[in-house]
A and B are shown apart, each in its own frame.
Chain A
Amino acid sequence: MALSLSETAVLIGSALRNHDVRAMRKINERCIAETALRFQQPTYNYALVTYVLAKILSKPRYLKHEKARSSLVAVNNLLRSCEAQAKAAEYDTLVLTQGRILSAMERVDDQDRRFVKGILQKARLKIASTLYAQGISLGNASEITGSDKRELMLYAGQTMMFDRLHEKKSIEGRMKELREIFT
């Protein structure tokens, strides 16, 4: 059953306060599944938020910085605002608040940045890859998540997704037809 936007905010807040990475990932999976079925910006934003929070919570290096810890307190408060805004059906404001959460987490990442690709960009790519693996097209997955198609293809190429779904036509079958074209 789909979670409501306010319920999702409550669950994320709870997982954050309890430092429960597993619970955060479970919420992330549900948000991605909902996004695949029907894209809604707030649900997709929660997918981003939960991915990034799961990453931050699972890496002690982020939590060493005082600024990072206070950012997470601010995120917790913003999640409470998300709950209230979702209940009041103030969806535009909800999206803005989610944006502030994501910006706060980008700043946490920036304090101990180790890769060219930031944590938010990584989140978009991971979600896009999951959507593509689930059956959404490459172009759609790329567009709705805001990730680059090239990066998505490179990422997907490193996974086993093309072995998990067998195609009707084998290489051999396609080659027979291709040779006919080029004779």
Chain B
Amino acid sequence: MCDASSLISLTDSCFVHVIYFLKKKYSGRFIIPPSVEKECVERPLHMKNYALHAIRLKRAIAEGMIDVVEGKQEKKAEELMFAANNLFFSGGTPIRLLHRGESDVISLALEIGVDNLLMDERTCRMLVEDPESLRQHVEHELGKPVDINEKNLSLFSRATKRLRFFRSGELALLAYEKGYFSDYKGLERDAVEASLYKLKYSGCAIGFGEIEEYVRKHVRE
């Protein structure tokens, strides 16, 4: 399951063909809800600076590389969003963290039994994987105490516990391991390292430190 942020990073970095490449080697699917199609294709088709990105994705959908699947459980999506947006409180006021689009992706994944999400956006991912670190970060950034509503945390965590998140950076690395950069002839390692930085600069929530460490240990070893 892909959200808008990962598709945005991939198209901006000209890596939409990583999806094509992996589809040939993998029997699974890359799935998006209609809201992501609207965000990544319909809307930017009318924006001069992003129309080409939209066309690339439109083509990928038309060619069956990405499937658009509609969810049926509107109520579940709303419940999930309510829990997420009533998780952190400051001064008695809930902090609205997630957007409907982000909770739509999660709830569709849960509905159709998909455990693996491709998501470059940071907040949603951290809310599932490490809400306490996110709480501390928000508290530090806002300079005000932030409390967690344990009941909503339990509800949200139980609902999302089987989900696994990946970023476009990891997708590019996997493609590298499967031979995506093989025709760079001697420049494969440079290409994959440069790709990680390009994805980072395109908005994939991956740190310089993370890239440096992984490249040093696993690419340049």
CB closest chain-A residue, reference B129: A168
Number of interface residues of A (CB under 8 A): 44
CB closest chain-A residue, reference B28: A181
Please report the C-alpha to C-alpha distance between residue A152 and residue B142 in the assembled complex, in whole angstroms: 20
Report the minimum CB–CB distance from A82 to chain B (whole Å). 24
Contacts of A168 in B (CB 8 A): 126, 129-130, 133
Task: Give the contacts of B80-105 with A (CB-CB under 8 A).
Answer: 90-91, 93, 95-102
Please report the C-alpha to C-alpha distance between residue A174 and residue B174 in the assembled complex, in whole angstroms: 10
Please report the C-alpha to C-alpha distance between residue A149 and residue B122 in the assembled complex, in whole angstroms: 13
Query: At the interface, is chain A mostly helix, strand, loop or mixed?
Result: helix
Does chain B have a CB within 8 A of A134?
A: yes
Contact A172/B134 with A149-B39, A150-B8, A165-B122 known, Cβ cut-off 8 Å = no
Task: Give the contacts of A112-167 with B (CB-CB under 8 A).
Answer: 132-140, 142-143, 148-150, 152-154, 156-158, 160, 162-167
Does chain A have a CB within 8 A of B204?
A: yes
Contacts of A166 in B (CB 8 A): 133, 207
Contacts of B183 in A (CB 8 A): none
Number of interface residues of B (CB under 8 A): 70
CB closest chain-B residue, reference A165: B137
Q: Is A169 touching B201 in the complex (CB atoms < 8 A)? A: no
Q: Is B205 touching A162 in the complex (CB atoms < 8 A)? A: yes
Q: Is B22 touching A154 in the complex (CB atoms < 8 A)? A: no
Please report the C-alpha to C-alpha distance between residue A169 and residue B207 in the assembled complex, in whole angstroms: 12
Task: Give the contacts of B1-50 with A (CB-CB under 8 A).
Answer: 4-5, 8-9, 12, 22, 25-26, 28, 39, 44, 47, 50
CB closest chain-A residue, reference B136: A165
Please report the C-alpha to C-alpha distance between residue A70 and residue B101 in the assembled complex, in whole angstroms: 44
Report the minimum CB–CB distance from B148 to chain A (whole Å). 13
Q: Is B166 touching A174 in the complex (CB atoms < 8 A)? A: yes
Please report the C-alpha to C-alpha distance between residue A170 and residue B213 in the assembled complex, in whole angstroms: 10
Q: Is A135 touching B50 in the complex (CB atoms < 8 A)? A: no
Please report the C-alpha to C-alpha distance between residue A133 and residue B210 in the assembled complex, in whole angstroms: 18
Q: Is A153 touching B134 in the complex (CB atoms < 8 A)? A: no
Q: Is A171 touching B214 in the complex (CB atoms < 8 A)? A: yes
Report the minimum CB–CB distance from A169 to chain B (whole Å). 6
Report the minimum CB–CB distance from A168 to chain B (whole Å). 4
Task: Give the contacts of B175-221 with A (CB-CB under 8 A).
Answer: 177-178, 200-211, 213-214, 217-218
Please report the C-alpha to C-alpha distance between residue A39 and residue B96 in the assembled complex, in whole angstroms: 9
Candidates B8, B99, B144, B178; contact of A140 at CB < 8 Å: B99
Report the minimum CB–CB distance from B199 to chain A (whole Å). 8
Contact A140/B207 with A153-B202, A171-B214 known, Cβ cut-off 8 Å = no
**Which of A39, A132, A171 has the most chain B CB atoms closer than 10 A to its own CB?**
A171
Does chain A have a CB within 8 A of B65?
A: no
Stretch at the interface among A11-19, A30-38, A46-54, A71-79: A30-38
The 10 closest A-B pairs by CB, nearest first: A153-B203, A139-B99, A135-B138, A137-B123, A163-B207, A134-B141, A168-B130, A157-B203, A171-B214, A138-B121
